[in-house]
């Protein structure tokens, strides 16, 4: 929005109107990462680091999960960035295990700002039923 020919971001204006304060140096974070959802319940003050913690997986991601990549030896490497430093969380046979390791670390280090993976579980297969067996 423009007011007196100065550009203001809608979510910052909403914050100011609702709370009566300028967020100043803070960013205004969208909890659900949807920049068009400016409901006050979806907005919170955040530092730039916290904004980064709440980011989605990168567009060039090939594993399907944030903090997970294929290692050259066939394992899935889980990692997390903490204060701009990459920390290894280990190597796993299944990418879902690596994604879970990332989720646990993200909850520990980033708290409410953690952007967690939605883990795709393999389909459950019922055991073969013996037709002679009674229910």
Tell me, yes or no, whether 126 lies in a domain: no
CA gap 89, 123 in Å, rounded: 26
Residue 108 is part of a domain; what is its CATH number? 3.30.730.10
- pTM exceeding the 0.75 threshold for the entire prediction: no
Summarize pLDDT for 96-127 with one digit per residue, the tens. 999 999 999 999 999 999 999 999 765 555 56
User: Does 67 lie in the same domain as 22?
Assistant: no
Supply the range of the domain harboring residue 64.
49-119
Q: Judge contact between 10 and 1, C-beta under 8 A.
A: yes
Residue 110 domain flag: yes
Q: Which two tokens stand for residue 55?
A: 């980011």
Which residue in this structure is represented by tokens 């020919």? 5
Same domain? For 58 and 114 the reply is yes
The string of pLDDT tens digits covering residues 33-67 is 898 999 999 999 999 888 888 777 888 888 989 99
Is the predicted pLDDT of residue 89 greater than 90, yes or no?
yes
Q: Tell me, yes or no, whether 59 lies in a domain.
A: yes
Please indicate, yes or no, whether residues 82 and 22 belong to a single structural domain of this protein. Answer: no
Domain count, the chain: 2
133 lies in some domain: no
Q: Which of 114, 81, 76 is nearest to 95 (CA)?
A: 76
Q: What local confidence, expressed as pLDDT, does residue 132 receive?
A: 62
Say yes or no: 54 and 113 in one domain: yes
Choose among 6, 48, 4, 57: nearest CA to 26: 48
């Amino acid at each position: 929005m423009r007011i007196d020919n100065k550009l203001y971001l809608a979510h910052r204006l909403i914050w100011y109107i609702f709370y009566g304060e300028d967020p100043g140096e803070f960013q205004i974070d969208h909890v659900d990462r949807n920049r068009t959802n400016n409901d006050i319940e979806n907005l919170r003050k955040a530092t730039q680091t916290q904004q980064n913690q709440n980011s989605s997986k990168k567009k060039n991601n090939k594993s399907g999960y944030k903090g997970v990549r294929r290692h050259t030896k066939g394992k899935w490497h889980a990692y997390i960035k903490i204060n701009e430093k990459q920390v290894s969380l280990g190597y796993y046979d299944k990418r879902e295990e690596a994604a879970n390791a990332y989720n646990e670390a993200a909850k520990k280090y980033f708290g409410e700002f953690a952007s967690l993976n939605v883990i795709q579980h393999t389909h459950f297969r019922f055991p073969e039923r013996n037709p002679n067996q009674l229910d």
